[in-house]
Copies of this chain bind each other. A is one copy, B any other.
Amino acid sequence: MSQSELHRDFHDLGKLSAADAGKVVWVRARIANVRAKGNSCFLVLRQGPFETVQACYFKDKSAPERSKAMLKFMGGLTCESVVDVQGTLQAAQVKSCSVTDVELSIQRVYVVSSAEAILPFQLEDAGRPEVEVEASQSTDRPFPRIGQELRLDNRWLDLRVPANNCIMRIQSGVCQLFRESLYAEGFVEIHTPKLIGGESEGGAGVFKTDYFGRPACLAQSPQLYKQMAVSADLGRVFEIGPVFRAENSNTRRHLCEFTGLDLEMTLDEHYNEVLAIAHRMFKHIFEGLETRFAKELAIIREQYASDPVAFTDGPCIVHWPEAIRMLREEGGMPEVGELEDLTGAQELRLGELVKKRHGADFFILDKYPSAVRPFYTMPCPSDAAYSNSYDMFLRGQEICSGAQRIHDPDLLTRTIAAKGLPMEPLESYVNAFRHGVPPHGGAGIGLERVVFLYLGLDNVRKASMFPRDPNRCEP
């Protein structure tokens, strides 16, 4: 309980240095490790994902009783407890901590918050690269494998693992960079409703709820609403918000709730304007991560190895027919259909081929067949079998989907009929275009997808703070 201010004037571990040797300081930190042996006790203190320091206490012969009690107390400290430590800085050489040139000679220790002695897993075990864990299995002392479910059941603990903690900081950075880029292009932030009246906004995979006696469902995307924001003369809009998909997909890249980074904008002449803005935006994210989040990336890459993403200066655009030709001729996949959607394997292969040809891990596949895109996608003017739509790929997997949208209510009505969809639930959507709306297009991006593919992780769940899948809705 906040009582009075004690003026302990806590120090950041990262700022401790041998230059201050002799000074008495207070630090608040977690206990990462305790080694008590006879007449001494060594603690490793940790602050966040970046900093650790060694703190030590030796038996004081001039005060044997107090000293004995202190050693007993310290030996009983548990890992992950939060403590306030007062100590004198003294020059030292400590290889195993981030603070290498100084340690704390302990005078006082107070427990601020005590962790249970038996934790679900040790952070040290949870923080080892998987290759090390696997390599150890054939030795005398195999490292324990810390499974995903155990980690997720205790996610607050799992996220203290430095690499995992930094993944969350990278997630934050992606949002920050996304917005920076779009603010610079004149975008306005919007917040669209997640509760939508009616049985469904179209299609399966919808979570339903009772809304004061009437049916409602959770938004599968802000699509309709961001288009209405354009109709409302906001010009260029973006939203960062949750997206809900009640799809029973248990894969490494699907979530039932994820964070959508959405944008929508008027077009002057061509939907290439969206591609240009989206490309600049991703470039800003990739460059910003490597420069402004280098410390976080270094820590993540110690546990999960990955190279920075290779990308081109201008948009690297591959048109659909060219992609099909590449897959058939160079990719050894003659079975690829001309107007069918690509499988995950085909997408990965295409990613390899584009990497070989253009040196890029990041590219745009443009002009998708109309048959595999939603009804609101603008057909290609020269061939209605194709559409003014695209996906963006990172390391061979989709991170973004976008298109020019149909803004003409009559064309929209005809497209809905041609797709064999019922008109009635889409009536109000179409009506929203009857009061005049400028040509527009946009993009929808999955935040967790961007993070997990950028970092070359094996599972999207690692990029979600509290992932939701068909088997998990807690903690």
Contact = CB atoms under 8 A, between A and B. Distances in A.
Q: Among A1, A270, A382, which residue has the most Cβ atoms of chain B within 10 A?
A: A1
Interface in A419-475: 428, 432-439, 441, 447, 465-466, 468, 470-471, 473-475
A24 to B, nearest CB: 17
A163 B394 CA distance: 41
Interface string A187-199: 0111111111110
Q: Among A195, A208, A228, which residue has the most Cβ atoms of chain B within 10 A?
A: A195
B197 A232 contact: no
Interface string A145-164: 00000000011111110000
- Interface size on A, as a range, is 35 or more
A272 B473 CA distance: 35
A315 to B, nearest CB: 15
B436 A466 contact: no
Given A1-B378, A168-B232, A268-B10, A195 B256 contact: yes
Given A228-B475, A436-B80, A438-B112, A3 B381 contact: yes
A20 interface: no
A225 interface: yes
Q: Among A179, A190, A272, which residue has the most Cβ atoms of chain B within 10 A?
A: A190
Interface stretch (A59-67, A240-248, A357-365): A240-248
A229 interface: yes
Given A159-B234, A208-B209, A115 B434 contact: yes
A388 interface: yes
Contacts of A4: 270
Nearest to A206: B209
A231 B160 CA distance: 8
A235 interface: yes
B242 A240 contact: no
Given A183-B176, A211-B473, A195 B2 contact: no
Contacts of A28: 268, 438
A403 B191 CA distance: 26
Interface stretch (A35-43, A212-220, A326-334): A212-220
A235 B10 CA distance: 14
Given A2-B272, A438-B28, A176 B189 contact: yes
A128 B465 CA distance: 47
A475 B429 CA distance: 9
B234 A269 contact: no
Contacts of A225: 465-466
Interface string A278-309: 00000000000000000000000000000000
Given A113-B436, A191-B447, 6 more contacts: A1-B380, A48-B233, A116-B435, A156-B435, A191-B242, A207-B211
23 contacts: A1-B379, A1-B381, A2-B269, A2-B272, A7-B269, A10-B268, A78-B436, A81-B436, A82-B437, A112-B438, A113-B437, A157-B232, A159-B232, A168-B190, A168-B234, A191-B447, A191-B465, A192-B465, A195-B257, A207-B211, A208-B210, A216-B473, A228-B475
